[in-house]
Amino acid sequence: MKWNPKAFFITCLLAIFSFSASAQVKISAADIGGTVSGANGPEAGVWVIAETNDLPTKFAKIVVTDDKGRFLLPELPSGNYQVWARGYGLIDSVKQNAKPGQLVNIKAVQAPTAKAAAQYYPGMYWYSMINVPKASEFPGTGDKGNGIPEVMQKQYYWVDTLKNSCQSCHAFGVRGVREVPELFTKKANGDSELAWAYRTQAGQAMANMALGLGRMGPERTLSILADWTDRIAKGEVPFAKPSRPQGIERNAVYTSWNWSEAKYYLHDAISTDKRNPTLNANGLIYGSPEESTDLVPTLDPKTNVVSQIKMPYLDPKNTSSLELPKAESAYWGDEKIWDGHTSIHNLIWDQKENLWFAAKIRPSSNPDFCKKGSDHPSAKVVPLNESARQLTMYDTKTKEWSMINTCFTTHHVYFARDKNDTLWTSAGSPASGVVGWLNTKMYLETKDEQKSQGWTPLIIDTNGNGKRDEYVEANQALDPTKDKRVMAAFYGMQPSPADDSIWGQSMDVGFSRINQPGYLIRLVPGSDPSNTSLAEIYQSPEGTFGSRGVDVDSKGVAWTVLASGQIASFDRNKCKGPLNGPTTAEGKHCPEGWTLYRLPGPQFKNVKDPKGSADGAYYIWVDLHNTLGLGKDVPIASSSGGEALIAVVNGKLVTLRIPYPLGFFTKNVDGRIDDINGGWKGRAVWTTSGTRNNFHSGDGGKELPPKIFKVQIRPNPLAN
């Protein structure tokens, strides 16, 4: 080979730069630092991942390089680590061995093709390629027409269903979804639509998938999905590209631990009491595994030890998810991997270090005290025959369980800031038409589950006299002398820290399958909530849809996320017109109260509304106490397609993408302060992988278990 002095000179310069840059990274004995450089010099805004198997469970830490390509991985437990770089425009670098206290120079590897580069994009960039039916095809004309059911009145019905029924369970654009497994293509003899039919029948969630497909139009939807994956198989890549982390996004530190088991999945995780984030400082983190198991996972972040606690249930007739119908899985064959009786959905701390769970303790038929003819005060107003989930409580000190037989269905649970420590609950679906609560002070003192609980319908003060009166039902016309019931219930729910109101959010058509819009709802309980509570409903602005999740900041401003692709706030104080009376029955009376923040990323090509993104988010959480470090009252959305936590900081979006494992998908966030005087090191938000299909990830495959994540913001990318 002929010696090339120019190439030699450039190589020497790069080597000198690399050495000098890494020398500028000051590390302690617990850190790994260095530089990432490529053919054109330093690689700014790329992630550096350090992972070890030397702890009781697999542990990883991720940071972002600064504008000179430098990185510092802080506070690593002793062990042998593999360290590598991942970033947009790159493929993963060669993994290097390192220990804390060492400097490492990483050689970045440019992606050889656009397809190779796109493998690291968030899933939303891939699923935005789906050819959503055009707006002109709605209302649907059914099986004998365009294959879209007539119940699909507008394009947004279809999009809302895709996001809030399909994507609410798994990250839709990840590799395990955008590539059809060989098992199904073989069974279908190469027929892509049939292959999709097989894959949507696989596993124990087939009934849910069939329900969603039926709503969207099975044959038409399967053809749309087959077209999408066929184009990808032929080499088509996303039409948009993501940007690397910028500014404060480069200050993020992500720590992860494996917990639970590869066959199971998690819905939520909890670390503390939202009202008092110093509770349980440095203590165990707990998770909720929903349908997959009765085993509640725990993590001790101090010792890196994971464990599981088995939740009991009241009635031995409680059915298991083993009994769900299923067909062959491309990953698990005919094995039934879920075995849960308790459907543990959501969990929350109280101030006495008890954990409260929305969980199923019995079959759905309610006891007599819930039904018509009962003398229970709430049953006299609205008798309830069934509830899908009830409540359980775990005393973390005595390790004892209590089971609370509620008449109302529970879904999310949050505490009010009142003398009774009232636990308010959502129901998920709007079908029940009620909101329930438990006076936990009374329950803990008396163990009387009947007297301690109550529920109310949602009644709007449409006659405008400021109090609750006799009301007409939701399907009846307005009566100027009466109030009006709205047939809704809370999905997201949060007591306001600013007053005694309870904010909720009712799902739109894509999740509820009820032909009414989604609402943001403000409930004021009054002195006797079953009989005195009044509700106000608010629809999001014209052209938006699909609210999901709600939280409230310290000023009383409500925040939600919209399936139309926005984070939204609603400030009731901005409303100009009356907040009761007949004009408020539809919830369109305060458009001025809304502010929209478009989620990052492209829109579906056939969706012409310019306001939103193809991305959507599962939930939203407001950081009341600055536990993350981005400020007080910062809302944080759980981006389903962006594989990130997205915060609104001073009106601007901060995207905290967790790049490893690929396909990060979470449903909620929780913030804790472990050391109030510890600066950034004493604060963090916690979240868990929430997909039902961890094995769809591009990292780890079938053996990948759920992970628990700790997210922190440090002062700069090299702080330790």
Greater confidence (20 vs 583) lies with 583
**Residues 86 and 122: beta-carbon distance below 8 Å:** no
CB neighbours of residue 703 within 10 Å: 8
Of 168-172, 176-180, 387-391, 438-442, the one with minimum mean pLDDT is: 168-172
Tell whether the model's pLDDT for residue 423 goes beyond 90. yes
DSSP assignment of 116-170, as one string? HHHTTS-HHHHHTTS-PPPGGG-S---TTTTSS-TT--SHHHHHHHIIIIITTTS
Parallel, antiparallel, or unpaired for β 558-562 and 453-460? unpaired
Q: What is the pLDDT of residues 246-292, one digit of tens each?
A: 999 999 999 999 999 999 999 999 999 999 999 999 999 999 999 99
Q: What is the dihedral of CA 51, 54, 56, 62, to 10 degrees?
A: -20
Location of structure tokens 């458009």:
591
Q: Let me know if 435 is exposed, middle or buried by CB neighbors in 10 A (0-12, 13-18, 19+).
A: buried
Q: Average pLDDT, stretch 226-246?
A: 98
Q: At 412, is the secondary structure helix, strand, or coil?
A: coil
- Check residue 701 and give its pLDDT: 86
Tell whether the model's pLDDT for residue 359 goes beyond 80. yes
Q: What is the pLDDT of residues 54-75, one digit of tens each?
A: 999 999 999 999 999 999 999 9
> How far is Cα 542 from Cα 454, in angstroms, rounded to an integer?
35
pTM of the model: 0.95
Q: Sheet holding 390-395: strands in order across?
A: 346-349, 354-359, 390-395, 400-404
pLDDT averaged over every residue in the chain: 95
Q: Average pLDDT, stretch 589-605?
A: 97
Copy the structure tokens of residue 90. Answer: 């790159």
- Check residue 15 and give its pLDDT: 42
- Check residue 23 and give its pLDDT: 52
Looking at the DSSP bridge assignments, the partners of residue 422 are 439
CB neighbours of residue 321 within 10 Å: 21
CA 639 to centroid of chain Cα atoms:
7
The dihedrals phi and psi of 512, each to the nearest 5 degrees, come to -75, -30
Tell whether the model's pLDDT for residue 319 goes beyond 80. yes
Q: Average pLDDT, stretch 2-30?
A: 57
Which residue in 171, 132, 176, 232 sits closest to 564, CA to CA?
132
Q: Average pLDDT, stretch 627-637?
A: 98
Which residue in 504, 423, 420 sits closest to 458, CA to CA?
504
Tell whether the model's pLDDT for residue 22 goes beyond 60. no
DSSP 293: B
> What is the amino acid identity at position 225?
L
- Check residue 59 and give its pLDDT: 98
Task: Give the confidence band of 16 by pLDDT, cuts at 50, 70, 90.
Answer: very low
The dihedrals phi and psi of 482, each to the nearest 5 degrees, come to -125, 170
- Check residue 170 and give its pLDDT: 87
Cis peptide before 238 (omega within 30 of 0): no
Which residue in 697, 708, 567, 720 sits closest to 173, CA to CA?
697
To the nearest whole percent, how much of the chain has pLDDT over 70? 97
Tell whether the model's pLDDT for residue 478 goes beyond 90. yes
> How far is Cα 686 from Cα 621, in angstroms, rounded to an integer?
11
> What is the amino acid identity at position 71?
F
- What is the SS3 string spanning 469-534? CCEECCCCCCCCCCEEEECCCCCEEEECCCCCCEEEEECCHHHHCCCCCCEEEEEECCCCHHHHCE
Tell whether the model's pLDDT for residue 642 goes beyond 50. yes
**Residues 701 and 249: beta-carbon distance below 8 Å:** no
Q: In residues, how long is the chain? A: 720
Tell whether the model's pLDDT for residue 13 goes beyond 90. no
Of 14-18, 506-510, 595-599, 607-611, the one with minimum mean pLDDT is: 14-18
Q: What is the pLDDT of residues 551-584, one digit of tens each?
A: 999 999 999 999 999 999 999 999 999 999 999 9
What DSSP element (H or E) covers 354?
Answer: strand 354-359
Which residue in 267, 218, 118 sits closest to 178, CA to CA?
118
Cis peptide before 715 (omega within 30 of 0): no
Q: What is the pLDDT of residues 429-475, one digit of tens each?
A: 998 999 999 999 999 999 999 999 999 999 999 999 999 999 999 99
Could you give the residue ranges of the DSSP H alpha helices within 597-643?
none
Copy the structure tokens of residue 65. Answer: 């390089």
Looking at the DSSP bridge assignments, the partners of residue 71 are 34
Tell whether the model's pLDDT for residue 169 goes beyond 50. yes
Tell whether the model's pLDDT for residue 628 goes beyond 80. yes
Parallel, antiparallel, or unpaired for β 534-538 and 519-524? antiparallel
**Residues 659 and 698: beta-carbon distance below 8 Å:** no
- Check residue 437 and give its pLDDT: 98
